[in-house]
Amino acid sequence: MDRAMFEGSVDLDHARHERPYWVGRLEEKGKMQDLLVSEATTGAKLVYYIFGYSVMGAGVLLLIGGLVNSRSITW
């Protein structure tokens, strides 16, 4: 699972390892400096993770509830 899903940003070294062509194109075009952001604070990360995992948990519960009650659903 990618942390960018919760934090909205990726460590540059991680991005270079996972997506070298994308990072290379950004550096060639000179757009890399425009996209760099500072790291999120610990409090912000905590809020992101609590919200993200809560939404994922709710999705899983809805999926399980739908599967359990699928015979009762009438369209």
CA 50 to CA 6: how far, in whole Å? 9
Specify the pLDDT at position 1. Answer: 64
- Enumerate residues 6+ apart whose C-beta is below 8 A from 22: 15
Mean pLDDT (10-residue bins), the chain, 75 residues = 76 89 92 86 88 94 94 82
The model scores a pTM over 0.75: no
CA 15 to CA 40: how far, in whole Å? 17
- 33 φ, ψ (degrees, to nearest 5): -65, -30
Residue pair 38/31 in contact by the 8 Å Cβ criterion? no
The DSSP symbol for 70 reads T
The full set of domain ranges for the chain reads 1-39, 40-75
Report helix, strand or coil for 65: helix
